[in-house]
Chains A and B, each alone.
Chain A
Amino acid sequence: MDGMSELVIETHELSKRFGRKLALDALTLRVPRGGVHAVVGSNGAGKSTLFRVLLGILSPTAGSSRILGEDSQTLTPETRGKIGLVHEEHTLPSWMTVQGLTNMQRSLYPRWKEGTYGEVLGHFQVLPEQKISQLSRGERAGLNLALALAQGPEVLILDEPTLGLDVVAKQAFLESLLFAGEGEECTVLYCSHQMDEIERVADNLIILERGSLVSMAPPEEFCRRVSGWVVDWTSPPPEVRAIPGFLQARDVDGQQQLMVLDQDEGFSECLEILGANAVLRLPIGLNQAVNAYLTRNHSSPNA
């Protein structure tokens, strides 16, 4: 298989059940090598479960998952060494010093990149003699990222890494992620609820819903599929089921704001037939597009 089409992550009909809850529902996902892939979805969409199964921490109820060409359930130490993980809690051994932890990691990873480690940590005010327990959340995040990138991973999984970070730490974190160790071929899986970050970093947007894959496309391509409209109805608005591509509706000052999927300019005529008095198309950003899309199947109190 040539480098261009190689898959770093491949799941096939992957399911994971916790009691009566299906966290992953026959998920088939194929992530090619290279680039930053943002993974989004509502809470409980299955993102963290997916990462745990991929890393072999959890075993699937059905189906299979492969990472770097190996079955997640039987990963060799060599392959494990090529996978970096940074998750929201930035849990590091609190009793160790920064220096002690770094020495340990350096001895564990044969591909250790001292330059990258220094470059990332240079963004954060962390001293070698400090104990991990004395570091702020932002500093722990920085150290965590420095350690992960220094191991020279082929796949880096980030699970809500900037949660709770202030603007300065967040900026330093993103800058390190995007530019440290340039030239290294690393595929990044970036799970976040922060759409502004996703806009900045992502080449590809993966949307999970109730344990299944519902969309995979570059962010701007996905954004183009969703359109927003302000509608003045002459009479009470029609039932949402009558509106093609319906995602979301909100009433604002007697007008209705509608978000719809895969509708072109002809949609305004369709609204007029349904009884619209005036129709105006709204420009919308990625944040609104993703929100509307994820709201789609959610029950609303008055529906």
Chain B
Amino acid sequence: MRHTAFGAEFSVIQIVTGDARPIFRQIVDGIRLKVAKGELVPGTRLPSVRGLALQLTINTTTVAKAYAELATEGVIESRKGVGVFVCEPRQRLSREERERRLAEALRLFVSSVVALGFEPEEILRQLEQELEPLVSRKPYLKTQSE
């Protein structure tokens, strides 16, 4: 079978080289965001490890690593011999771990924007806009145990 060059254009997510985030991190973030925004609904079948690696022209172990992390977080699940699917939303990380990750993400965010010279109000306004698609999908934000 002959695959078209630059198949990534039709891929479920896109990656870029030369980015500060390693490729496996871009895959994890990309799929997580699409699920959170509702662009990938529960039950959606994702490309196999080999399939996504082929689409993005990257090493299969990189995709396998990203899928493993997404599975640990409960975003996707792999059904043996069937494929990889987007899960029903549920939270597998502990409250403490989620708080730790939120704090880490906020620290990174603040350190990146602090020197840009925007007023905090302007930053907050734009942040709200970015979060808007998530707010309208509140059920995803709830955890099972709460």
Query: Is the CB of A271 closer than 8 A to any CB of chain B?
Result: no
Q: How far is the CA of A199 from the CA of B6 in the complex (A)?
A: 16
Contacts of A182 in B (CB 8 A): 50
Q: Which residues of A contact B54 (CB under 8 A)?
A: 175, 178-179
Q: Are A203 and B111 in contact, CB atoms less than 8 angstroms apart?
A: no
Assess the A171–B61 pair: CB atoms within 8 A.
Answer: no
Determine whether A131 belongs to the interface, using a CB cutoff of 8 Å to chain B.
Answer: no
User: How many angstroms from the CA of A278 to the CA of B6 in the assembled complex?
Assistant: 42
How many Å lie between the Cα of A35 and that of B22 in the bound state? 18
Instruction: State in angstroms the CA–CA spacing of A47 and B60 once bound together.
Output: 26
Interface contact B20-A178, CB-CB below 8 Å: no
Bound form: Cα–Cα A196–B22 in Å: 11
Chain B, range 1-44, C-beta contacts under 8 Å to A:
2-3, 5-6, 17-25
List, in ascending order, chain B residues with CB within 8 A of A200's CB: 17, 23, 56-59
Within the complex, what minimum Cβ distance (angstroms) separates B40 from chain A?
24
- A171 adjacent to B57 (CB under 8 Å): yes
CB neighbours (8 Å) of A223 from chain B are: 22
Whether A174 and B5, one on each chain, are in contact in the complex, defined by CB atoms closer than 8 angstroms, is no
List CB contacts (< 8 Å) of A150-166 with chain B: none
Given A172-B5, A175-B3, A280-B111, A202 and B18 contact (CB-CB distance below 8 Å): no
Asked if B19 and A178 make an inter-chain contact with CB atoms under 8 angstroms apart, the answer reads no
Which of A5-13, A74-82, A90-98, A283-291 forms contacts with chain B? A283-291
| 1/0 contact string of B102-124 vs chain A (CB within 8 Å) | 00000000011011000000000
Q: How far is the CB of B68 from chain A (nearest CB, A)?
A: 15
Which one of A122, A171, A201, A280 contacts B6 once the chains associate, using CB atoms below 8 Å?
A: A171
**Any chain B CB within 8 A of the CB of A281?**
yes
Interface residues on A, range: 20 to 34
* Distance of A179 Cα from B61 Cα, bound (Å): 12
Instruction: Identify the closest chain B residue to A119 (Cβ).
Output: B1
How many whole Å from A8's CB to the nearest CB in chain B?
17
Closest to A178 in B: B59
B115 to chain A: which residues have CB within 8 Å?
230, 278, 280
Q: How far is the CA of A178 from the CA of B49 in the complex (A)?
A: 13
CB proximity to B under 8 Å, residues A266-286: 278, 280-281, 283-286
A277 to B2, CA, bound (A): 57
Contact: A168 with B5, CB < 8 Å?
yes
Beyond the given A174-B57, A199-B22, A199-B23, please list 11 additional residue pairs across the A-B interface where CB-CB is below 8 A. A122-B2, A172-B5, A175-B3, A175-B54, A178-B58, A196-B18, A203-B59, A278-B115, A283-B20, A284-B20, A285-B17
Interface residues of chain B, those whose CB is within 8 Å of chain A, are 2-3, 5-6, 17-25, 50, 53-54, 56-61, 111-112, 114-115
A interface residues (Cβ-Cβ under 8 A, vs B): 35-36, 122-123, 168, 171-172, 174-175, 178-179, 182, 195-196, 199-203, 219-220, 223, 230, 278, 280-281, 283-287
Nearest 3 CB-CB pairs, A to B? A283-B20, A196-B17, A220-B22
